[in-house]
Copies of this chain bind each other. A is one copy, B any other.
Amino acid sequence: MQPTLRDVADKVGVSAATVSMVLRGRADGRASAETQARIRDTARELNYVSNGHAASLRTKKTPTVGFISDRIATTPHAVEIIRAASEAARTFEHTLLMVNTGELPSTELTAVRELRRDGIESVIYASMQHRRVTLPEGLPENLVIVDGFADDHAVPATVPDEAGGVVAAVHHLVDLGHRRIGFLNEDPARAIAAELRLEGYRKALEERGIAVDPDLIEESRNEPGVSDAGVAKLLERARPTAIVCFNDEMATGVYREAGRRGLSIPEDLSVVGFDNLELVATLVDPPLTTVRLPHAEMGEWAIRMLLDERYRDSATTAPGPVLQPAPLVIRSSTGPPGASMRP
C-alpha cells in the first residue's frame, strides 16, 4: 500500500493540513523550520508520493497538457515537436497526455472525452503538416495549434516561416555567385507550404535584383524512386546552376537525375532541400544543404503559450499564426557555380 498524507502526519505528530502545506511549499507561517524538515524527512523515509487523483479531484486542476494530433505523433518527421514540448512541460511540472486521432472524427470525439474525463484544461493540437485545421468540438479554452491554424484564426497558432526558409536558401546561393536558380515545387494546390515557399523564392530573387524566369519554376510529382519529368524539364530547358527543392525527397530526385546526366553536385549543380530529414540529408552524397523545420521551437512555443502567462500576455497580437524561423543548414551540396570548369 502506498503511504498517505495521514501516514506522514501521524508519524510526525502534526495534522494532514500541515503536511500538505509544507510538502507543497505553501507553509507560510505554518510549522517551524525544524518541523518542516522533519515532515520532509519522514515523507522521504516513507517514500510518500502525493495521490494525483485526490489532489486533482479536490483542486479541479490537473498538471497535464493534452497533445492531440492527427497523425503527428506517429510521423517520424515531427517527433521533435513532442520531445521539445514534453521537455518544456517538465519545466512547468506538467506532463503530456498524447492522443492520436488518425484524423477520424470518431476518434476525435473519444479524444475530447478522454481529455474531459481527466479534467485537462490545456491542449496542443498538432498537425502533421502545415495546414488549415478544423478543430473538434469541445476542446478547452486554453488551446494552441502547432504547424497549422484554425479556419477563423481564433486560436493562437504557430507555423514554420516557410518563405523565410527559402529566402535564406536563395540568398545563400546568390551569395555563392548563382544567378540561374531553379525552384522545384510541390503542387501548390496540395500544400500551403508550397505556395509560401514559392513566394519566398520570388521575394529573395527580387531582393537580389534578379528577374524571375518562369522556366526556372517547375513542379515535381515527388514520388520516391521514380524518374521525374519535372526535374528533367527543369534541367534541360532552363539550365540552372542551382536548384532549391520543396523537400529533401525531391532533392534526392535531383541527385538521381543529375547523376544520369553526368552532372556532379555541387560542381555542376548546387542543390538545396527543405525539411532537414537527418536520415536523408546526411546519407546522400554529398550531404544535403537544406532548410530545417523548427519543430522543437514550435513545441516549446506551444507549452509556453499554454502554461506561461507572462509569455502569453507578451505575445504578439498580430493576426495570423506566429512564424518560427526555419534556418538553413549548410552541408556540401551547394558551392560556387561552374566550379568544375575551373582548373
Contact = CB atoms under 8 A, between A and B. Distances in A.
A86 interface: yes
A134 interface: no
A98 B100 CA distance: 13
Output the residue of A57, A107, A110 with the most chain B CB within 10 A.
A57
A105 to B, nearest CB: 15
Interface in A50-77: 50-54, 56-57, 62, 73-77
Interface residues of A, number: 53
B76 A224 contact: no
B54 A282 contact: no
Contacts of A87: 100
Contacts of A50: 117
Output the residue of A75, A80, A98, A99 with the most chain B CB within 10 A.
A98
Contacts of A77: 76
Interface string A244-257: 00000100100010
Interface of A: 2, 47, 49-54, 56-57, 62, 73-77, 79-80, 82-83, 86-87, 90, 95-100, 107, 110, 113-114, 116-119, 138, 224-225, 249, 252, 256, 259, 277, 279-280, 282-287
Question: Which A-B residue pairs are the 7 nearest by beta carbons?
Answer: A76-B76, A74-B83, A52-B117, A53-B57, A53-B53, A53-B56, A49-B116
